[in-house]
Amino acid sequence: MVLLRQAVGHTLRAARTSQARTLREVARDARVSLGYLSEVERGQKEASSELLNAICNALGLNLSDVFIDVSKELKSREGVTLTVVDAA
């Protein structure tokens, strides 16, 4: 079963590592504990909507753009490739 929190965690971790930032840095900027962020990234904890916004802000990303990537990740886990165009 494909779980949303796993796709969210994978997407947030990919965004963070693409910025070459540590868990500690992003957790500090988002004002969440390092353990919380780590559990969210590993898909072990559901992020609340408010803390998800804080994490996205810390990463400099729009919530909507993160969820386009989450949709792609979900599609990928369902074996489908998703192309998004004209998002401006």
- Provide the binding-site residues for a second copy, judged by CB under 8 A: 1-6, 46, 48-50, 52-53, 62-64, 67-68, 70-71, 74-75, 77-78, 80-88
* Nearest-approach distance from CB 64 to a second copy, in angstroms: 4
* Nearest-approach distance from CB 21 to a second copy, in angstroms: 22
Nearer residue to a second copy within complex by CB, 18 or 81: 81
* Nearest-approach distance from CB 68 to a second copy, in angstroms: 5
Cα–Cα distance between 71 and 68 in angstroms, integer?
Answer: 5
Cα–Cα distance between 74 and 59 in angstroms, integer?
Answer: 21
Phi-psi region of 16 (alpha: psi -120 to 50; beta: other; left: phi over 0): alpha
